[in-house]
Structure 1
Amino acid sequence: MQSFTYERAASAEQAAAAVAARPDAKFISGGTNLLDLMKLEIERPAHLVDISRLPLDRIEETAAGGLRVGAQVRNSDLAADPRVRSRYPMLTQALLAGASGQIRNKASTSGNLLQRTRCPYFYDRNMPCNKRQQGSGCAALQGFNRMHAVLGASEACIAVHPSDMAVAMAGLDARIETISPGGETRTIPIGDLHRLPEATPHVETALGHGEMIAAVTLPPPPPGRQVYRKVRDRASYAFALVSVAAIVEKSGDRIRSARIAIGGVAAKPWRATEAERTLAGAAASDGAFTDAAEAALAGAVGHDGNDFKIPLAKRTMRHTLAAAAESA
């Protein structure tokens, strides 16, 4: 690990200014991803700004009837909060499907959103990776790519975003509150937070250098039944091959509305808007769920080793939608 300096921020504004002042500075909170990357010398910050003790660890009611989740709320606390469990059950399901209890006790809300890909070529400094070293190439294209993207990828990168929590939040239309070095604030829809790779896979989010996530706002709970389903190689402590967050609202035997987000298939939580439109007004039937799955994966492209993800994602979506519709 490279040597680095350290400071503990006293306020969000101070933290943002401290990171913005140095191009080689980074925020650190739980460190469950950053410290691993520093040990491998993939991340080499010369200065760390500790934001873990900032007063951003509360879950508060909003005037609109939603919840405001502070950036430093731990994943375990968010999953266990009674308001989250009753009003946003698929968020609790997604959080409990991620990592291990020990990691959830350390991982923060903002850190979960900003964790970097687990692509093995990104972690191997002996292999080319455009995300790690721009212009070096993407070893996964012709390599072991079983875990990689089938939607929104490019010739520069086919890595996926690993978060479970972010997939559920995408289905819930969460909004990200940030603070900049000058104290300015802005709100980013979660669908705009993460960027697809295109020609610049090293630019992963819409955040500027020194811009810090302060909170995530969940809108009032949407009508309908919420379900999160994760398919992985083993029952725990594994990243998703495919995951689906679905909310289905019914009127009689017909679907009034649906929200669908897919994980494990792209560099960001993938909102399946075409599938949502396909389901609006349709009968709650296996045929409708099949049509929605086909619409969601219409543009999917495999790379030999991950071709199986396309039918797997379709099946997972059908089963998740059926489960949500059954009790909606």
Structure 2
Amino acid sequence: MDKRILVLGASGQIGTELTQKLRELYGNSNVVASDIKLGTFEMMDAGPFEIIDATDKETILSVIKKYQINQVYLLAAMLSATAEKFPQKAWNLNMNSLLAVLELAKEKHIQQVYWPSSIAVFGPTTPKNNTPQKTIMEPTTVYGISKLAGEFWCNYYHEKFGVDVRSLRYPGIISWKTKPGGGTTDYAVDVYFKAVEEKIFTCFLSENTRLPMMYMEDAVNATIQLMEANPATIKIRTSYNLAAIDFTPKEIAAEIRKQIPDFTIDYAPDSRQQIADSWPSSIDDSEARNDWNWKHEFDLKRMTLEMLNNLEKK
């Protein structure tokens, strides 16, 4: 099938780079970017752009009809740290946007849906190291609760109505193109910006807080690879564990100092520490690797070089 794609939440951290990659692969005119507010000039100039509230099913449907869309990537969400401040708002956005898109797929207006989950679905009772695909899931954040509910809605629509919905549990995602957007793992983006701009960084997590992370290029490639995979190979319709690297603030700082020797870091843990403590330290993603041949390319060293080189140019 010729892909005609709508990206909801295209201006967010993942949406920005995923939209760009989708346009490179399938043609600018075949990928409609959308967000609740205007996007960057580059995004709006490169291809079609629509202003859409991701919870507004009728507006989404009108855009699907206008561009004959057959694939929707739903990336609109309120992230972990921000969602704790606005719980009702976060639940409304995170759940109603997903239900709107799943209904449109059930009604056969679109053929495929992508929706991201997160390591936030796990909780303090989950095994922390090498967290398995199927395990105890008792999230303690609004974001995690909404993502866990969303996973089961995806599975329900697949089982009941045959909706081809696919999902990944993202770890922390690191990119030089967009600044942090209110997530608990965002320190690992901010630390690179501050290292280049100011050579000093105050981390809101303690030095030995280990979390699963991934460079943006790997995350984008995994997402597209999953959507390209033969439906017969997709055995999990809640959401696949996805992993690449894991590290602590102390380890990332040591790697940065290899390139910027006078960089300094100090630690002032805040409310986000409690969120981070409830999440896994490392993830077992062997099912994704077995089912559709996922493999990451960036380790901490290679990612650090990419981040610093690009930020210095920027």
Same fold (TM over 0.5): no
| Structure number with higher strand proportion | 1
Q: Going by fraction, where is helix more abundant, 1 or 2?
A: 2
Instruction: Please give the TM-score of this superposition, normalised by the length of structure 2.
Output: 0.27
Q: Normalising by structure 1, report the TM-score.
A: 0.26
